[in-house]
Structure 1
Amino acid sequence: MESTRSRIINFLSENQDTYVSGQDISNELEISRSAIWKHMKELEKDGYVIEARPNKGYRIIESPSKVSENTLQWGLSTEWLGKSIIHKESTSSTQIIAHKLAMENAEHGTVVIANEQTAGKGRLNREWHSAKYKGIWLSLVLRPNILPNLAPQLTLLCATVLATVLKEELNLDPKIKWPNDIMLEDKKVAGILTEMQAEQDKINYIVIGIGMNVNHDMKDLPNDIQYRATSLKLQSGKEWDITKLIQSILERFESTYMEYMQNGFSTIKEIWESYGYRIGEKMHIKMFKEVKKAILVGIAEDGALLAQYEDGLVNKVFSGEIEWFSKTE
């Protein structure tokens, strides 16, 4: 359920070009004028700059740069994604919290976000270093009405969302390394982890985790991954507003998800292939005990990667079989 403070922020954001009277807020939220005043003081503690004028009302003139439930709600233009936000200053993993909430019937579109993860993880239980205040560490709780075998499509959908935000809003040139890595100049900047709880023919819930390195300097990345990891700041030479970036991702994810639920995977597939890392290039692919040359040609409806071999056959391959960083003729 949306908090009173979030409702105040949303109400003010809908009327951000004018003052909103205390009486209007009281009528809208069904709370007393004194309760409104107390909430405004709490918002100021969170870093909001609120202008209050006698006989006019309240107006938020500046929101804080730090990530919190309140700052994310302010200006977030979504219908259902992020209406319930759980924010943690520090936690072991947003995935763990999201799974727990999902099992407790958290609503579709719940977002769990942290300023720091102490035990972040990626695919195959690989560690994900989640530096405090430097990146985006969040998980989404979804309850899609699709068959369990289609769940991998949501990983690919999420990848197109991240790539599109980086390209269209940050003017960067991202690529998607199948199935879940966002790359900038051959280095990983973001990853996606999709997990679900399902029955044979029904998904109970899906948790999608997103980790993105945003304002890391080189010293913020562990020594053993500096050669293969990067951040938006390292690639662009500038710092980014993490709150606004999260809002952009949530807004883009919601609209893309709704289009997917209405029209299926074909558009997502086309967009993914336009960003696909090394699509159209020859690669070394391990097949049993052989290493064969093949051209990566796209993805299948089930989310598998497709490769065309020298004999003309097109087969599905898996990430463990591809020598991503080898060069071939």
Structure 2
Amino acid sequence: MGSEIREHLLALLIEHADQFVSGEEISRQLGCTRTAIWKHIDELRKAGYEIEARPKAGYCLRYQPDRIAPEEIKALLSTRRFGHAIHYVESVDSTQWLAHQGVRSGAKEGALFLADEQTQGRGRMGRKWHSPPRSGIWMSLLLQPQIPLNLAPQLTLMASVGVTRAIRRETGLPVTIKWPNDLLIDGKKVCGILTELRGEQDQIHYVVLGIGMNVNTPAASFPEDLKTIATSLAAESGRTYRRAKLIAAILEELEHVYDLYLTEGFEPIRHSWESFACMLGQSVTAHTPQGPRQGIARGLHASGALLLETDEGVVVPVYSADIRQV
């Protein structure tokens, strides 16, 4: 109950940022005593918020730290269901693991699992993900789509469209998509998307959609082996970003494209994905389980596979591969 009151209190202060809200008004809206309000104000101050108190005027939020606590995100949300349940921890091996555990505890579609630090963050094909504390977004979203098991790979492409839209909307940076799950800025990776599912036969039980994004990571802090291939939003723009605001935007865009996908199918998603793609019309090498294949990336198959035009002029679908530009 205490955390719920604190969430509403912070949302109220954020809504009236740089304006005083009377203790009487806060008490009326939150349904608690002035003494309880003061205790929650004190807790918020300990978390790094600067809140001015003035007799007869009330409370005014003067400064917000870059936190991704549930109350910060919920104060900015306009979704119908994504992010309404948020499970936050300061540090975890992987938010993917956190989400799988959450399902066992009864979590429902739209539940969000996030952390300020991942100690064993991972990407596609088991690659490690550089996840320094309090600088990026490391989160996993629970989905329960009623679609056939063989269409599950489309969810990664759907998610890349939603996240790209959110980043472009909030930062203006020219983010592009590399098939199937990398988001790039000027050829360097800024975000990765990882989908894991549980199902049997032809039925999906649930999908965990993992998103790892370098937000305020300084360029100099990347390990030497990543400096030429990875970047962050701050490194590209020269400014820092409020992660809670980015997360709220991501959830909003994801909910929109997810609902579009469920109602209209993959076709509108495919067109959006191709408009953001960075490799179409270019020569690439697809390192598939059957060996490397070279060709020109032409677009997406209706299934979500990458269409590759070979030297013989034959267009073939690639369903699983690591793509490198030639």
TM range (shorter): 0.7 to 0.9
One-letter amino acid matched to 2:207: I
What corresponds to 1:325 in structure 2? 325
Give the root-mean-square deviation of aligned CA atoms. 2.8
Structure 1 residues 285 and 254: alpha-carbon distance in aligned structure 2, compared to 1, 3 A threshold: closer
What corresponds to 2:83 in structure 1? 82
What corresponds to 2:157 in structure 1? 156
1:44 to partner: Cα distance: 2.8
Contact 1:140 1:208 in 2 (8 A): yes
| Residue segments in structure 2 that go unaligned for 5+ positions in a row | none
Contact 1:87 1:112 in 2 (8 A): yes
Structure 1 CA distance for aligned equivalents of residues 290 and 97 of structure 2: 38
1:54 to partner: Cα distance: 6.2
Deviations 1:268-327 (A, max 9, x none): 1111011112112233456898866422111123221111234443211145364x132x
Secondary structure of the corresponding residue to residue 223 of structure 1: coil
What corresponds to 2:199 in structure 1? 198
One-letter amino acid matched to 2:180: P
Where do 1:84-163 residues align within 5 Å? 84-163=85-164
Structure 1 residues 269 and 219: alpha-carbon distance in aligned structure 2, compared to 1, 3 A threshold: same
| Residue segments in structure 1 that go unaligned for 5+ positions in a row | none
Structure 1 CA distance for aligned equivalents of residues 289 and 90 of structure 2: 46
Where do 1:1-329 residues align within 5 Å? 3-10=4-11, 29-50=30-51, 60=61, 62-285=63-286, 293-320=294-321, 322=323, 324-326=324-326
Structure 1 CA distance for aligned equivalents of residues 171 and 282 of structure 2: 27
Structure 2 CA distance for aligned equivalents of residues 291 and 208 of structure 1: 28
1:93 to partner: Cα distance: 1.0
Contact 2:285 2:295 in 1 (8 A): yes
Structure 1 CA distance for aligned equivalents of residues 259 and 88 of structure 2: 25
One-letter amino acid matched to 2:99: A
One-letter amino acid matched to 2:49: Y
Provide the TM-score with structure 1 as the length reference: 0.86
Structure 1 CA distance for aligned equivalents of residues 194 and 148 of structure 2: 19
Structure 1 CA distance for aligned equivalents of residues 147 and 32 of structure 2: 40
1:262 to partner: Cα distance: 2.2
Structure 2 CA distance for aligned equivalents of residues 55 and 159 of structure 1: 49
Deviations 1:247-283 (A, max 9, x none): 2212221222222222222111111011112112233
One-letter amino acid matched to 1:189: V
Secondary structure of the corresponding residue to residue 83 of structure 2: coil
State which drifts further: 261-270 or 66-75. Answer: 66-75
1:238 to partner: Cα distance: 2.4
1:194 to partner: Cα distance: 0.5
1:88 to partner: Cα distance: 1.7
Deviations 1:167-221 (A, max 9, x none): 3331222221111001111111110110111232432221111111122223311
Contact 1:150 1:302 in 2 (8 A): yes
Contact 1:87 1:114 in 2 (8 A): yes
State which drifts further: 173-182 or 57-66. Answer: 57-66
One-letter amino acid matched to 1:113: L
Structure 2 CA distance for aligned equivalents of residues 232 and 146 of structure 1: 34
Structure 1 residues 157 and 20: alpha-carbon distance in aligned structure 2, compared to 1, 3 A threshold: same
Structure 1 residues 19 and 225: alpha-carbon distance in aligned structure 2, compared to 1, 3 A threshold: closer
Deviations 1:76-126 (A, max 9, x none): 222221112222222111111111001211122111111111110111111
State which drifts further: 232-241 or 105-114. Answer: 232-241
Structure 2 CA distance for aligned equivalents of residues 3 and 288 of structure 1: 49
One-letter amino acid matched to 1:224: D
Size of the aligned set, in residue pairs, is: 325
Secondary structure of the corresponding residue to residue 116 of structure 1: strand
One-letter amino acid matched to 2:153: P
Structure 1 residues 20 and 238: alpha-carbon distance in aligned structure 2, compared to 1, 3 A threshold: closer
Structure 1 CA distance for aligned equivalents of residues 240 and 116 of structure 2: 16
Structure 2 CA distance for aligned equivalents of residues 48 and 62 of structure 1: 6
One-letter amino acid matched to 1:205: Y
Structure 2 CA distance for aligned equivalents of residues 97 and 210 of structure 1: 13
